[in-house]
Amino acid sequence: MAAGESSFKLILGSSSMARQRILAEMGYEFTIMTADIDEKSIRKEKPEDLVTALAEAKVVVYKGMIREKPSSEEEAREYIKGYSGGHAAVVGSVLVTNLRTGASKGGWESAEVYFHDIPDEVINNLIDEGIPFKVAGGLMLEHPLTLPFVEAVIGATDTVMGLSKSLTEKLIQEALFLQSSPPGIPNVS
Interval 121-143: pLDDT, tens: 999 999 999 999 988 899 888 89
Measured CA to CA, the distance from residue 189 to residue 182 in angstroms comes to: 21
Per-residue pLDDT, 4: 47
Structural domain that includes position 89 = 46-177
Share of the chain above pLDDT 70, in %: 78
Q: Can you give the CATH number for the domain in which 160 is found?
A: 3.90.950.10
Per-residue pLDDT, 92: 85
Is residue 82 in a domain? Answer: yes
Is residue 54 in a domain? Answer: yes
Contact (CB, 8 A) for 100 and 177 = no
Q: At what angle do helices 17-25 and 165-177 cross, to 10 degrees?
A: 70
Per-residue pLDDT, 56: 45
- Give the pLDDT mean for 77-96: 93
- Give the pLDDT mean for 60-74: 90
Is residue 86 in a domain? Answer: yes
Whether 54 has a pLDDT exceeding 50, the answer reads yes
Is residue 189 in a domain? Answer: no
- Give the pLDDT mean for 111-117: 97
Measured CA to CA, the distance from residue 185 to residue 167 in angstroms comes to: 18
The tally of domains found in the chain comes to: 1
Per-residue pLDDT, 120: 97
Instruction: Say how many CA atoms lie within 13 Å of 184 toward its Cβ.
Output: 18
Measured CA to CA, the distance from residue 63 to residue 103 in angstroms comes to: 36
Is residue 1 in a domain? Answer: no
Confidence of residue 66 (pLDDT cuts 50, 70, 90): confident
Per-residue pLDDT, 184: 56
Whether 180 has a pLDDT exceeding 50, the answer reads no
Is residue 32 in a domain? Answer: no
Is residue 156 in a domain? Answer: yes
Per-residue pLDDT, 178: 62
How does DSSP classify residue 183?
Answer: P
In whole angstroms, what separates CA 29 from the centre of its chain? 19
Is residue 12 in a domain? Answer: no
